[in-house]
Structures are given as C-alpha cells and as structure tokens.
C-alpha cells in the first residue's frame, strides 16, 4: 500500500470531528470550552525573560541534539525524580514536543517484519490519537486493547494471544493516562516489562502527564526497569514541558532509551526533524531545573479535582482521576451527550468514542465524554455544574 493510502484508515482527527458535530447546532448559553486539553495556567515569567535574553541565538543554527546545558538539566531532573542515572549525551534525545517522538518512534523502530509477519503495535483503547498515526505510517498493524473499567482503565496486554505478542514490535502505554486519568502502578509496569522482555518488544511509555497527580508521584518506566534490571533498550520514556510547566507552545520534550536505540534514533532525527531553536533550549533547561512552578501548577490542578469531586462525588460510580487533567465521565451515549451539552448549555466536551476505535463491534469510549480541567476555576466550576445538571436531567448512569 502506498504511503498516502495507508492513512485512509485513520478517521478524522477528534477535534475536527467535534467541530463537524457541533456545527449543526447553536450553543445554548455562553460557551465554556472543556474539550481541548490545552494547559491554561500561566507559565513562569523567567521563561519569557530567558527567551528574550537569548534571542541572539536565533542568528545561528542550534545544535539538533540539544545543548549540553539542556541535556544536563534533563538528566538532572530524571535523577531527582526517578533516582535513575541517565547519560545525557547517549541516552537522551531532544524532541520538539513528545508528539513528534511518539509518531516518529514508530517509523524508526518498527521493523519490516516480525517473525516473518506484519509487525503489530499495541495501543490502549481509547488513546492519544497520534499513536495510531505513527503505527499506520510505519505500515504496522495497530492492535487496540481495551483500557476500561474491568481492566483498571489500563490495557491488559498479557491477555493477548501468543500470535499477536510474538509479532509485536512496540506497545504504547500512557500513565497517567489520557483520557481516563489512570496511573500504572510499579507492579503493573514490572509485569509489562517482563511481558515485553519475554516477547521481545519495546514499551513506548508516554509519561507526559507524570507531574500532574494528587499526592503520590506516579512511578516511571525508567525507575521500574532499573529496579528489575530490565535493559534500557526495551523502553522508550517520553516527557514534556507542555503539561508540567504549562508550555505547550514551546514544543519541548525528550525521550530516554538505551544507547543503541538512542544512537539509531539520533541518526534518523538528524535527517528528518527540525532543531529546537537556541533560545527555547535555554528556556527548557531552566524549566527542567525548577520544581517550584511545577508544584504550584499541580496544586492548581488538585483544587480543580476537588471542585470536580464536590460536583460529581455523589454520583454512583463517579471516578476521580488519579492523574492527568481529564474527567472521563460515563453518560450513556457520549456523542449525543456532547451535542446536548452544547445545544442546551453551551458546554463543549469531547465524545469519548472519538478517542477510541471500534473493535468487534464495540468502541470502549462510546459511553463517555472527556472533560478537560483546564479552564480557570470559576469557568470550570460553571461548566462542571452544567454537566452535573445535564446528567441529573438525563438520569444518565455514571459508572
């Protein structure tokens, strides 16, 4: 199949689909947008100051592989956060946002064939849509694995058949997860690592929400791999400044893996990807070196979780997220709920099924809406109050 033809299996991107759905109706009130997970808390002033101070750097090509200052700031953060030693020159790859790396890792790491067959890539269902784009681009077979109530909202990859596992090249995992807000425990990660070692696949651990949690920091794949002496080549961990530092527009992230894997990915990135501008590398280094703004940010999200718990806490089956910044609310039919919330209240939310794939006639996102807790508190409270009223009117079951 030609490269463009491969993409024909991908549905329209969720936000374009949502625009198409809501275009049919006028908003039934002042618009409150809780659909897009675009962080809106302020980032520190010293970020803008650093970019301005370093603006002379726009006059030269920046180092594609990252300045030593940035690489050391990242390895220092990993050491403080996960007590893991990472070689800044050989085990880190700078990314213009994790989105870039999550897509390209598929192109770079999926072989032509796996045990003589088409390689599989495992994806939790529902999921961040870029994963599917990467898998399809790589010509691999996406295997969508339910991440639902019965599985603790994380995928149960061990339940897959031997045939699938033996031709698996990569497995995505998102923790804390978008959209469900589930956190993978150290035990879960250890079991996944052992499954990956047994069947010879790599884990792509999307940890871009790692700093948005309630009280206990979510365990990371790097620390669990180190504790269980699993070779670092088996994992690729992705991190970002978008959520932790409220800098989605900076486009700054990185991945960590074993030396061989990173060497290979560096070579390919040198051919394919744009470098991160010098002033942004400087600002990124400062952001990875400071935790105070991250703690303040986390507290703001915790207050929002409290608002949500207050509004929905009495609903049977309501689940407060363990991390990330989304509510994953069961509402019967997510698409019709999203349409009604828009036309009756002006509240914009994302139908869960747009983040899922139908497998054997069932899309695990269908009964849900995803609500982003990114608006300012008063606006958020007003929006959540309207969703609560809607659920009450519908007699919708939250489970």
Ligand X SMILES: Cc1ncc(COP(=O)(O)O)c(C=O)c1O
Note the residues at the interface with ligand X (CB under 6 A).
37, 97-99, 102, 128, 174, 178, 206, 208, 240, 242, 248, 253
Q: How far is the CB of 361 from ligand X (least distance, A)?
A: 26
Between 97 and 119, CB nearer to ligand X:
97
Between 104 and 168, CB nearer to ligand X:
104
CA 105 to CA 120: how far, in whole Å?
14
Between 157 and 254, CB nearer to ligand X:
254
Between 168 and 240, CB nearer to ligand X:
240
Between 128 and 342, CB nearer to ligand X:
128
Q: How far is the CB of 237 from ligand X (least distance, A)?
A: 12
Q: How far is the CB of 315 from ligand X (least distance, A)?
A: 25
> Rounded to the nearest 10 degrees, what angle do helices 68-82 and 278-288 cross at?
20
Cα separations in angstroms, 56 against 61, 274, 276: 11, 19, 14
CB-based contact 266:64 (threshold 8 Å): no
Q: How far is the CB of 96 from ligand X (least distance, A)?
A: 8
Collapsing DSSP states into helix, strand and coil, what is residue 293?
A: helix
Say how many C-beta atoms besides its own lie within 10 A of residue 283's C-beta: 28
Single out the residue of 178, 174, 208 nearest to residue 192, CA to CA: 174
Between 134 and 253, CB nearer to ligand X:
253
Long-range Cβ contact pairs of 67-72 (< 8 A, separation 24 or more) = 67/278, 67/281, 67/282, 67/285, 69/281, 69/282, 69/285, 70/94, 70/281, 70/282, 70/284, 70/285, 70/288, 72/285
Q: How far is the CB of 184 from ligand X (least distance, A)?
A: 13
Residue least distant from ligand X (Cβ): 97
Q: How far is the CB of 97 from ligand X (least distance, A)?
A: 3
CA 388 to CA 341: how far, in whole Å?
10
Residues 363, 180, 165, 90, Cα dihedral to 10°: 140
Tallying the residues shown for the chain, one arrives at: 399
Beta bridge partners of 114: 117
Q: How far is the CB of 180 from ligand X (least distance, A)?
A: 11
Between 66 and 97, CB nearer to ligand X:
97
């Amino acid at each position: 199949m030609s490269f463009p033809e491969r993409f024909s299996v991908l549905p329209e991107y969720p936000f374009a689909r949502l625009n198409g759905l809501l275009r049919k109706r006028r908003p039934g009130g002042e618009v409150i947008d809780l659909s897009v997970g675009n962080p809106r808390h302020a980032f520190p002033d010293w970020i803008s100051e650093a970019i301005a101070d370093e603006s002379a750097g726009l006059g030269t090509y920046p180092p594609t592989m990252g300045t030593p200052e940035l690489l050391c700031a990242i390895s220092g953060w990993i050491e403080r956060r996960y007590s893991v030693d990472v070689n800044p020159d050989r085990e880190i790859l700078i990314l213009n946002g994790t989105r870039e790396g999550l897509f390209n890792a598929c192109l770079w790491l999926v072989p032509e064939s796996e045990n003589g067959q088409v390689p599989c890539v495992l994806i939790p269902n529902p999921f961040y849509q870029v994963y599917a784009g990467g898998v399809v681009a790589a010509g691999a077979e996406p295997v969508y694995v339910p991440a639902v109530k019965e599985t603790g909202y994380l995928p149960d990859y061990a339940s897959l058949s031997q045939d699938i596992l033996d031709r698996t090249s990569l497995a995505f995992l998102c923790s804390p997860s978008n959209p469900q807000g589930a956190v993978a425990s150290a035990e879960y990660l250890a079991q996944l690592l052992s499954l990956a070692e047994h069947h010879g696949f790599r884990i792509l651990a999307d940890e871009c929400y790692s700093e948005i949690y309630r009280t206990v920091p979510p365990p990371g794949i790097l620390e669990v791999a180190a504790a269980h002496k699993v070779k670092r080549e088996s994992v690729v961990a992705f991190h970002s400044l978008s959520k932790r530092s409220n800098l989605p527009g900076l486009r700054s992230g990185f991945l960590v893996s074993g030396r061989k894997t990173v060497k290979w990915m560096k070579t390919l990135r040198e051919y394919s990807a744009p470098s991160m501008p010098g002033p942004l590398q400087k600002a990124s280094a400062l952001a990875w070196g400071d935790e105070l703004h991250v703690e303040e940010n986390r507290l703001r999200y915790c207050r929002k979780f409290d608002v949500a718990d207050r509004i929905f806490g009495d609903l049977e089956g309501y689940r407060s997220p363990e991390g990330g910044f989304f509510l994953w609310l069961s509402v019967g039919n997510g698409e019709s709920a999203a349409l009604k919330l828009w036309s009756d209240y002006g509240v914009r939310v994302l139908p869960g099924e747009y983040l899922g794939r139908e497998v054997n006639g069932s899309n695990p996102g269908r009964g849900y809406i995803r609500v982003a807790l990114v608006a300012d508190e008063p606006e958020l409270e007003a929006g959540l109050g309207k969703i609560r009223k809607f659920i009450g009117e519908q007699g919708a079951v939250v489970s």
